[in-house]
Amino acid sequence: MTSLWWLALPTLLLPIWWHRKKRVQVKAEPLASARFLPRTEPRQMRVWRWSDILLLIVRCLLLVCAIAWLADPVFPWRGDTVVVAQGTDARWVEREIKAAGYVEAARLPLPAHEALAWIGAHEREFKPEARLLVLGDIPMPAGLPAFRRPVALRTLAAPVPRLEARVAIVSARAPEWRRMFAALDGPLRVVLENTPGPKTELIVWDMPDAPPAGMRAPLWWTTDTGAFTELAQSKAVGGIRYADGARGRVWASNAWPPADPGAARALLETWRELHYAPVPYTAPPQAFAPSAAAARTYASGALRDFLMWALVALFAIERILTHARRR
């Protein structure tokens, strides 16, 4: 824990001890009768007194700033807060805020996928009595979040944005391929093209001849491995051979186009899962109770940048004063 660095504060005694350490040789006055006394070496006596007060203060401040920078202090200043996922319906947000009694609370807009993680990283900034409400289309996290204070989550699933994929079919069996793509449901919409273009994402090359050398696409489907030389040393997974080449990634299978609905569905699902991000599932509304889980890594406090600049300035002043004292 960074707060353990405060235990290093006793190191402030080092510059204090050093600036009070002073050795002064006892002055010797020659006397006529001294030749009759036994010879002794001059003695030194230690006189404790302050020296270079300004330099001492600067060095103490330098140590305090260094310890504070390592301890990363955070002073709780946030009160009741409503974290709103960006893009959430404003009228729904106002209704939920009034129903939960957060009318006077501060509003904090954040990206939906960062809301819960942000609260966990900035928990130290909230006052002990502060309440937290999270609103919007918050994706369900992989694990149950743990907070050290109560957090209420109320969600509203946003409409799933429809994605568009442009597919060009170059085949003598184009009607069979078109029927397969027409059966695709969900947020992914397929736009079929007669000829490949610069925005084409998938080219179905169901021809024995090799495609033109200048034709490019992120993904190719082919039924003839001889049309693509890169498939000579390709690997196979689930009955599909794949390889990367200058034209793009190539999938090949001699069982295409799929003859039954199950095979067609499996091919389309594989394509959608590997080439398009999954649609996040909206987390259900719930209330997170305070947890005594182990402390996590918190975000740096707002004072840390200021302390770093203070360290640089104090170090420069300390060097100047030390150099001036030696002259």
Position 33 in a domain:
no
Residue 50 lies in domain:
2-26+46-73+302-326
pLDDT at residue 33, rounded to an integer: 67
Residues 145 and 194 in one domain: no
- Regarding whether 54 and 117 lie in a shared domain, the answer is no
How much is the average pLDDT of 104-114? Answer: 94
Q: Are residues 176 and 150 in the same domain?
A: no
In a domain, 127, yes or no: yes
Contact 251, 240 (CB under 8 A): yes
Instruction: Find the helix packing angle between 174-182 and 261-275, rounded to 10°.
Output: 70
In a domain, 240, yes or no: yes
- Predicted confidence (pLDDT) at residue 26 exceeds the cutoff of 60: no
Residue 220 tokens read as 């190719």
Task: Report the range of poorest mean pLDDT among 96-105, 211-220, 287-296, 310-319.
Answer: 287-296
Separation of alpha carbons 278 and 284, rounded Å: 18
Segment 125-149, tens digit of pLDDT: 899 999 999 999 999 988 888 898 9
Residues 62 and 131 reside in one and the same domain? no
Q: Are residues 98 and 68 in the same domain?
A: no
CATH label of the domain that carries residue 192? 3.40.50
Q: Is the pLDDT of residue 31 over 80?
A: no
**Does a structural domain hold residue 295?**
no
297: pLDDT strictly greater than 90: no
Q: Are residues 133 and 171 in the same domain?
A: no
174 and 245 together in one domain: yes
Residue 113 predicted with pLDDT over 80: yes
The verdict on residue 38 lying in a domain is no
* pLDDT in the model for residue 138: 95
Q: Cα–Cα distance between 139 and 160 in angstroms, integer? A: 12
* Structure letter (DSSP) for residue 282: B
74-83, 121-130, 258-267, 300-309: least confident range: 300-309
Residue 118: what pLDDT? 92
Domain total of the chain? 3
DSSP state of 306: H
Q: Does the pTM exceed 0.75?
A: no
Strand 235-237 to 240-244 pairing: antiparallel
Average pLDDT, stretch 20-44?
63
Q: Do 193 and 223 sit in the same domain of this protein?
A: yes
The whole-number average pLDDT for the span 279-302 is 79
In a shared domain, residues 149 and 88: yes
Same domain, 173 and 145: no
Mean pLDDT of the residues in the chain: 85
182-209 average pLDDT score? 88
Contact 239, 254 (CB under 8 A): no
Residue 177 lies in a domain: yes
pLDDT at 6 over 90: no
Give the pLDDT mean for 267-284. 86
Same domain, 94 and 125: yes
Q: Using the predicted structure, report yes or no on whether residue 327 has a pLDDT greater than 80.
A: no
pLDDT recorded at residue 296: 64
Torsion angle defined by CA atoms of residues 13, 14, 15 and 20, in that order, rounded to the nearest 10 degrees = 80
**152 burial class (0-12, 13-18, 19+ CB within 10 angstroms)?**
middle
Q: What is the pLDDT of residue 100?
A: 94
Is residue 275 scored above 70 in pLDDT?
Answer: yes
pLDDT of residue 321: 87
**Opening angle at CA 74, ends 72 and 76, nearest 5:** 170
Same domain, 268 and 256: yes
Residue 124's pLDDT band, with cuts at 50, 70 and 90, is confident
Average pLDDT over residues 247-269: 89
pLDDT single digits (tens) 211-254? 988 899 999 999 988 888 888 888 888 889 999 988 899 999 98
- Does residue 34 sit within a domain? no
Per residue in 42-84, pLDDT tens? 665 565 666 778 888 898 999 999 988 888 888 888 999 999 9
Report, as an integer, the average pLDDT of 268-277. 86
Q: Is 55 inside a domain boundary?
A: yes
